[in-house]
Homo-oligomer: A and B are copies of this chain.
């Protein structure tokens, strides 16, 4: 099996990240690549969710994954086993990726012939929400063990998201977690967010999520091709 690259992404020299992000988004639309930015706390299940998502969609879509971490390459190894293109990005201690760092990642990954590129952002519920990566959609994962009050405490993350996946719902019996309270807390921050309870471990809810993603990719394509 081909090994993956490890790329040290450099801090951005651009003062205006929003402008860089908008330019990247336009380029990706032209090239027909749907870029998804996946964010969460450390350990909320981004990589497991990604593996299941790849498994469900890889026969229909050409997928490439960017694993961003401060250090280590454990996630890229896991993704590699799914048989899709993957690159490990090291952020040099940075707690988030901006549009220019994302661009470096996409160039390292190689996006020719891709339909869907997914950035697994650094595990952090604060800083990644502040930087537009140029993605066409932002998705946050909140896991049951973290608690149903997190949308109140980390407002921006939930405001910038198109989808919130509530993961590890198979562990609800073991935690004080109220799904309806959690949904209501998300709605307070972002009434438009699409909320999908899932268990990446048992597969529950994964069809609704992958259906959403497939459709979003198709819409992205039709926008760009019309």
Contacts and interface: CB of A to CB of B under 8 A. Distances in A.
Interface string A90-125: 000101000000000000000000000000001111
A145 B153 CA distance: 20
Interface residues of A, number: 33
A224 interface: no
Interface string A113-155: 0000000001111110010000000000001011101101111
Given A146-B43, A154-B70, A171-B145, A125 B126 contact: no
Contact of A95 (B95, B123, B149): B95
Q: How many copies does the complex hold?
A: 2
Contacts of A156: 70, 93
Contacts of A41: 41-43, 123, 125, 146
A158 to B, nearest CB: 11
A12 interface: no
A125 B41 CA distance: 8
A154 B123 contact: yes
Contacts of A171: 145, 171, 174-175
A128 to B, nearest CB: 10
A149 B70 contact: no
Nearest to A156: B93
26 contacts: A43-B145, A43-B146, A43-B150, A69-B153, A70-B153, A70-B154, A70-B155, A71-B152, A71-B155, A72-B152, A74-B152, A74-B153, A93-B130, A95-B124, A122-B126, A123-B153, A124-B124, A124-B125, A124-B126, A124-B127, A127-B127, A143-B145, A145-B145, A171-B171, A171-B175, A174-B174
